[in-house]
Amino acid sequence: MIRHYTLTISCPDRAGIIAAVTGFIAQHGGFIVEASYHTEQDEQRFFMRQEIRADSLPFDADEFSRLFSPLADEFSMNWQLADSARNKRLVILVSRQDHCLDDLLHRWRSGELKVDIPCVISNHEDLRSFVEWHKIPFIHVDMTDKLTAFERIAALFEEYQGDTMVLARFMQILPPVLCQRYPRRIINIHHSFLPSFVGAKPYHQAYQRGVKLIGATCHYVTDELDAGPIIEQDTVRIDHGDTVDDLVRYGRDIEKTVLSRGLRYHVEDRVLVCGNKTIVFK
Amino acid sequence: MIRHYTLTISCPDRAGIIAAVTGFIAQHGGFIVEASYHTEQDEQRFFMRQEIRADSLPFDADEFSRLFSPLADEFSMNWQLADSARNKRLVILVSRQDHCLDDLLHRWRSGELKVDIPCVISNHEDLRSFVEWHKIPFIHVDMTDKLTAFERIAALFEEYQGDTMVLARFMQILPPVLCQRYPRRIINIHHSFLPSFVGAKPYHQAYQRGVKLIGATCHYVTDELDAGPIIEQDTVRIDHGDTVDDLVRYGRDIEKTVLSRGLRYHVEDRVLVCGNKTIVFK
Amino acid sequence: MIRHYTLTISCPDRAGIIAAVTGFIAQHGGFIVEASYHTEQDEQRFFMRQEIRADSLPFDADEFSRLFSPLADEFSMNWQLADSARNKRLVILVSRQDHCLDDLLHRWRSGELKVDIPCVISNHEDLRSFVEWHKIPFIHVDMTDKLTAFERIAALFEEYQGDTMVLARFMQILPPVLCQRYPRRIINIHHSFLPSFVGAKPYHQAYQRGVKLIGATCHYVTDELDAGPIIEQDTVRIDHGDTVDDLVRYGRDIEKTVLSRGLRYHVEDRVLVCGNKTIVFK
Amino acid sequence: MIRHYTLTISCPDRAGIIAAVTGFIAQHGGFIVEASYHTEQDEQRFFMRQEIRADSLPFDADEFSRLFSPLADEFSMNWQLADSARNKRLVILVSRQDHCLDDLLHRWRSGELKVDIPCVISNHEDLRSFVEWHKIPFIHVDMTDKLTAFERIAALFEEYQGDTMVLARFMQILPPVLCQRYPRRIINIHHSFLPSFVGAKPYHQAYQRGVKLIGATCHYVTDELDAGPIIEQDTVRIDHGDTVDDLVRYGRDIEKTVLSRGLRYHVEDRVLVCGNKTIVFK
């Protein structure tokens, strides 16, 4: 894959933003590979994402940033520049269920998901052997004392220099202080089509209500349970013949699909957040 | 289409029910065209539906019922026998939006939906010409006094001998007394994927929450708003670029699809109710 | 809806195209509402589509075109500028089946599909009353002599100043000379998921092969049967219990959905063609 | 899971079959857990599947078979009785790509897929470590001499007492003699929506044709390439921005989903074959 820079921007909407940014890139010979734009009407806010071939520019990412700053200031931009040569580092948290973990590790070892996984953290020992077969450190954290446990998790996240924390069916509610420390950096997969069936045992809730489809939701974690910005969702059809166990089984497939898609968008800097909503430039 | 009888049964679960019922049918030479079974485990209740060719039986529906009664009593069955030669009569209620009405009337006039439509009732005059082009009576009911209006609607439903009342985006909440008078005989299309976004303006609610799919739900009306047994649901993908108007537009397509499917199941006696859930024998 | 111009461009790929075009627009104060870009790698060809608010520009479409021409020449662009104030004119051809026609006319009369429909042409009289209820001229063309019939159709298309000819289940194969006269201006709905089941009776073919989903395809007509550039497709699940009649019934729903989506993209100038493929800027 | 027997039957259609079979079961106190019926109209052939609780019957599977035989003969039935206590044995063949293998082994080790996997056979060494981590024998077969190689594969299949051979992206065409030796016992996943794009490089073919969805097909292998009875299929949406590599990536997800669903139906004796079509009792 050819190295590229990904420039993501949000700023107040007005005429001429695209021209200014693409003019800056063109002026330095930059070759745009992919370009996406969106205006959030209610907020009068503009969002954009550009992928630029690294080898088409006469300077590196630092110099790009230095030269781009005055323009960014002029338009009051929030912006960031990512370099495809640097993998994002995902710290994965799991409990006993391994379908999402298995799916992510397969995508990682096949090269489909271009990330580093510095460690996997779990409150159970069950998945140690599987993780270690991948030569990834597996760290068990005892959850008896939740306060201490989450401090340990935060410390491990820092120690292993994680960019993003992935709750791959971790089954533990993170304390608000931790959620607030890492805004837009903690990703959860919830096993329902939110906002339906928040909280515990969503498949039982769905079964009781008699819905005809079930779903899963990948979202950024905030301090309000299952209420953060939604990155990706999907549903699957069920019928009256399906037991709760069948729902759980269908659910596993939709959970891993939705998590892997959402994570891919996040890792490729395709997700921008506006209030409690996401813009996803696919 | 060949004339057939549809026998639907629910009863306490035990061994031998299928044998007893199909034995009865076979004993009279009955030819089963379609057969479906389901046990609701939590309730230990059994549900079945049989389609039998009318011309394979030596008697008519009344005689069938008379002969079948002792067996039904033995197994404590709730049961009913429908004759495909008798169309169900749908009284359709609409407001100003006509996408569901247009869809239903097209399916009716093309012969796809085998029902009679004795009249269409509306609280607006807008759709009179379209309905009358179909040679179906169009009745305007003034909603200024809701109590009187709903009494009028109930009286019209009786006068036109309706079997089922279809709320095809009627946009009015039926009074509990009316809901209770016609259990499992009033069908509504709600423009959200229930239980998400109950009540008014579900597309606005969905837009605010930032969900990635929207849906529609066809359900029997009970005296609790949008909480009756769900017959059919579906979802459609949206993205950040879609405005509320786009959601409404996508929604129209999913609403008419879900309503027409749910209604078809109902009309063909494929929907059995157990508590607040449906068994749908497709 | 606010009036806007839609600028669509294709040209050889190189650095600086976006900057040049958006720079031109910005220089005249133009406000871009929606912007989409794509590079077709195999062809090294670049495609773009811009929606610009008409009221943000100090000149009209003609003057825009005059001023834009030198830039277009410099980049060897194929380009066109559409004005949302001018509706495209669709001439619809039907046979006896009316599900696609009903769907399109409903979208038109509800204002969802912003087009003019100067006339409907058919080889049967069946749908006259329905079309005329909409106050749209209905023209019967006798197909006994196909050569004469298609000359008449072409003449009517010219006389009614059609922009696009829509084959809404017309069930007649257009002669190559007619296909060649109107490249990318004739749209067909084929009742299979192409390239499977080309030609006649695709639902019978699907039934014989035992596929588990069926589909429909909206495409531009070329002189090779069912082989033109595909605009839109979709599929729906079937199972062993479905007869050919059931497939036809499911098919009607998927046909009208796919045709209306494809037509919407076409009418909004979202479809660009590259060889035998389409770029669809949704 | 409660032990049950699965009785699958096909026979010429006539009145009274269900009554006779369920009467036999009831007469011995048998409790039917799940019952499915289908008539293939063109062939006038009847198909049925019954799941019966083992503990409700006063005899074992052998005695069931002995007692049932006269009835089966009377109706000219092809029939078989499976015991859920005996797992089917899957011999999996792979090449280098491991997404389907990873998916199947995860479902196996989590207990979702109730089968035995006596060995995995491959023409490459790449996946040895992963398979052996599961404590499943991994056998490398050199394909230089195809004739010898396929004789070896058949011998291994016999030696390991395989019930079903699963081609999990094996990428080798089986010789007709092998296909004929194991009718309905070899299952393949083809990476296209058949009958489109038979043979090699279907994703390239799909890309060239410009389709808007791609798919995958799980089917029984016959001696005609990619033309055997279809068990399961599904599709996923793509667009003009997707490269062949993207298609391959989307394809992996749909391949493993379709293979695992099809395999589950097969393993649970839900798939009956009629000519070149399948009846799948879900």
Q: For helices D17-27 and B17-27, give the axis angle rounded to 10 degrees.
A: 140
Q: How many CB pairs under 8 A join A and D?
A: 24
> Is residue C68 predicted with pLDDT exceeding 80?
yes
Rounded Cα distance, A39 and C82, in Å: 22
Rounded Cα distance, B17 and D132, in Å: 49
What average pLDDT values come out for chain A (282 residues) when binned by 10 residues? Answer: 94 94 96 94 94 95 96 97 97 97 98 98 98 98 96 98 98 95 97 94 96 98 95 97 96 97 98 97 94
Task: Specify the fold of C4-83.
Answer: Alpha-Beta Plaits (3.30.70)
Strand partners, C167: C93, C188
Give me the residues of A, 173-202, that contact C with CB < 8 A.
Answer: none
If DSSP codes are grouped into helix, strand and coil, which group holds residue C281? coil
Print burial letters for C119-139: b (CB count within 10 Å at least 16), e (below 16): bbbbbeeebeebbeebebebb
CB within 8 Å: C32 and A18? yes
Print burial letters for D172-199: b (CB count within 10 Å at least 16), e (below 16): eebbeebbeebebbbbbbbbbbbbbbee
Across the interface, of C210, C233, C280, the residue whose CB is closest to D229 is C210
Min Cα separation C258/chain B (Å): 12
Predicted local distance difference test score (pLDDT) of residue A80:
97
Predicted local distance difference test score (pLDDT) of residue B47:
98
D125: which residues sit within 8 A by CB, 6+ positions away? D140
- Nearest residue to A260 via CA among A114, A95, A96: A114
Predicted local distance difference test score (pLDDT) of residue A52:
96
CB within 8 Å: A193 and B194? no
CB within 8 Å: D19 and B29? no
Note the pLDDT tens digit of each residue in D67-115.
999 999 999 999 999 999 999 999 999 999 999 999 999 999 999 999 9
Rounded Cα distance, C161 and D54, in Å: 74
Give chain B positions within 8 Å (CB) of A41: 243
Tell me which H or E stretch contains A276: none
Catalytic residue, candidates D98, D103, D163, D226: D226
ipTM confidence score: 0.95
Note the pLDDT tens digit of each residue in B188-224.
999 999 999 998 999 999 999 999 999 999 999 999 9
**In chain B, which residue's Cα lies nearest the Cα of C96?**
B110
Q: Touching C: which chains, 3+ CB pairs < 8 A?
A: A, B, D
Print burial letters for A108-134: b (CB count within 10 Å at least 16), e (below 16): bbeebbebbbbbbbbbeeebeebbeeb
Residue D1 pLDDT grade (very low, low, confident, very high; cuts 50, 70, 90): confident
Task: Look up tokens 């013949």; give the residue.
Answer: A241
Interface test with D, best of A34, A51, A102 (most D CBs within 10 A): A102
Q: Is B75 near chain D, with CB under 8 Å?
A: no
CA distances from C39 to A23, C43, D243 (A): 19, 8, 11
CA triple D194-D198-D201, angle to 5 deg: 115
Strand partners, B7: B50, B81
> Is residue D199 predicted with pLDDT exceeding 90?
no
Q: How many CB atoms lie within 10 A of CB A38?
A: 22
The counts of H helices and E strands in chain D are: 8, 13
If DSSP codes are grouped into helix, strand and coil, which group holds residue D239? coil
Residue B131 pLDDT grade (very low, low, confident, very high; cuts 50, 70, 90): very high
User: One fold for both C4-83 and C88-280?
Assistant: no
Tokens of D11: 């026979």
CB within 8 Å: D233 and C212? yes
> Is residue B1 predicted with pLDDT exceeding 90?
no
By the 8 A CB rule, do A164 and A93 touch? no
> Is residue D256 predicted with pLDDT exceeding 90?
yes
Q: Is B34 near chain D, with CB under 8 Å?
A: yes
- Nearest residue to C120 via CA among C173, C156, C70, C81: C156
Give chain C positions within 8 Å (CB) of A15: 26, 29-32, 56
Give chain D positions within 8 Å (CB) of C215: 213, 235
Give chain D positions within 8 Å (CB) of B30: 15
Q: Is D42 near chain C, with CB under 8 Å?
A: no
CB within 8 Å: A213 and B194? no
Q: In what order do the strands lie in the sheet with B164-167?
A: B138-140, B115-122, B88-94, B164-167, B186-190, B213-220, B230-237
Print burial letters for B21-53: b (CB count within 10 Å at least 16), e (below 16): bbbbbbebebbbbbbbbbbbeeeebbbbbbbbb
Note the pLDDT tens digit of each residue in B61-107.
999 999 999 999 999 999 999 999 999 999 999 999 999 999 999 99
Please give the backbone phi and psi of residue C216, each rounded to the nearest 5 degrees, phi first: -145, 155
CA triple C172-C175-C176, angle to 5 deg: 135
Min Cα separation A75/chain C (Å): 14
Rounded Cα distance, B256 and B249, in Å: 11
Q: Which segments of C28-145 does DSSP mark as H helices, in order?
A: 61-74, 99-109, 128-133
> Is residue D153 predicted with pLDDT exceeding 80?
yes
Give chain B positions within 8 Å (CB) of C99: 106, 110
Tokens of D211: 């389709």
> Is residue C1 predicted with pLDDT exceeding 90?
no
Interface test with B, best of D37, D53, D71, D236 (most B CBs within 10 A): D37
- Nearest residue to D79 via CA among D61, D58, D96: D61
The 8 Å CB, 24+ separation contacts for A60-67 are A61/A5, A64/A5, A67/A24, A67/A28
Min Cα separation B235/chain A (Å): 8
By the 8 A CB rule, do C108 and C117 touch? yes
Catalytic residue, candidates A103, A226, A234, A269: A226
Rounded Cα distance, A220 and A200, in Å: 18
Q: Is B128 near chain C, with CB under 8 Å?
A: no
**In chain A, which residue's Cα lies nearest the Cα of B37?**
A241
CB within 8 Å: B15 and D34? no
Is the link from the previous residue into D195 a cis peptide, with omega within 30 of 0?
yes
Predicted local distance difference test score (pLDDT) of residue A114:
97
CB hemisphere CA count around A277 (13 angstroms): 21
Min Cα separation C38/chain B (Å): 18
Q: How many CB atoms lie within 10 A of CB D163?
A: 18
Interface test with D, best of A110, A113, A126 (most D CBs within 10 A): A110
CB within 8 Å: B35 and D39? no
- Nearest residue to D37 via CA among B24, B71, B18, B7: B18
Rounded Cα distance, A122 and A92, in Å: 8
Q: In what order do the strands lie in the sheet with D45-53?
A: D32-40, D45-53, D4-12, D78-83
Task: Look up tokens 């100067």; give the residue.
Answer: C118
If DSSP codes are grouped into helix, strand and coil, which group holds residue D238? coil
Pairing of strands C4-12, C45-53: antiparallel
Q: Which segments of C160-201 does DSSP mark as H helices, in order?
A: 176-181
pTM above 0.90, yes or no: yes
Mean pLDDT score of chain B, rounded to an integer? 96
> Is residue C107 predicted with pLDDT exceeding 80?
yes
Mean pLDDT score of chain D, rounded to an integer? 96
Rounded Cα distance, D206 and C112, in Å: 32
Predicted local distance difference test score (pLDDT) of residue A1:
73
CB within 8 Å: B112 and C257? no
Tokens of B223: 């005296």
Q: Is B112 near chain C, with CB under 8 Å?
A: yes
Give me the residues of B, 239-268, that contact C with CB < 8 A.
Answer: 241, 249, 252-253, 257
Domain ranges of chain C: 4-83, 88-280
Rounded Cα distance, D262 and D270, in Å: 10
By the 8 A CB rule, do D44 and D10 touch? no
Min Cα separation C126/chain A (Å): 39
Active site residues of B: 226
Give chain A positions within 8 Å (CB) of B195: 196-197, 209, 211
**In chain B, which residue's Cα lies nearest the Cα of A38?**
B241
Q: In what order do the strands lie in the sheet with C88-94?
A: C138-140, C115-122, C88-94, C164-167, C186-190, C213-220, C230-237
Give chain B positions within 8 Å (CB) of C133: 129-130, 133
**In chain A, which residue's Cα lies nearest the Cα of B205?**
A195
Task: Look up tokens 């597309």; give the residue.
Answer: B203
Please give the backbone phi and psi of residue A130, each rounded to the nearest 5 degrees, phi first: -65, -45
Q: Which segments of chain A does DSSP mark as H helices, in order?
A: 17-27, 61-74, 99-109, 128-133, 146-159, 176-181, 202-209, 244-267
Please give the backbone phi and psi of residue D131, each rounded to the nearest 5 degrees, phi first: -65, -45
Q: Is B35 near chain D, with CB under 8 Å?
A: yes
Rounded Cα distance, D223 and D55, in Å: 42
Say if domain D88-280 classifies as CATH 3.40.50.170: yes
By the 8 A CB rule, do D121 and D139 touch? yes
CA distances from C153 to C87, C118, C126, C161 (A): 22, 13, 18, 12
Q: For helices D99-109 and A99-109, give the axis angle rounded to 10 degrees.
A: 160
Predicted local distance difference test score (pLDDT) of residue D59:
94
Give chain A positions within 8 Å (CB) of C37: 32, 34-35
Q: Looking at chain C, how many residues does it have?
A: 282
Across the interface, of B16, B29, B32, the residue whose CB is closest to D18 is B32
If DSSP codes are grouped into helix, strand and coil, which group holds residue B41? helix
Give chain C positions within 8 Å (CB) of B129: 133
- Nearest residue to D234 via CA among B236, B232, C238, C203: C238
**In chain C, which residue's Cα lies nearest the Cα of B242?**
C282
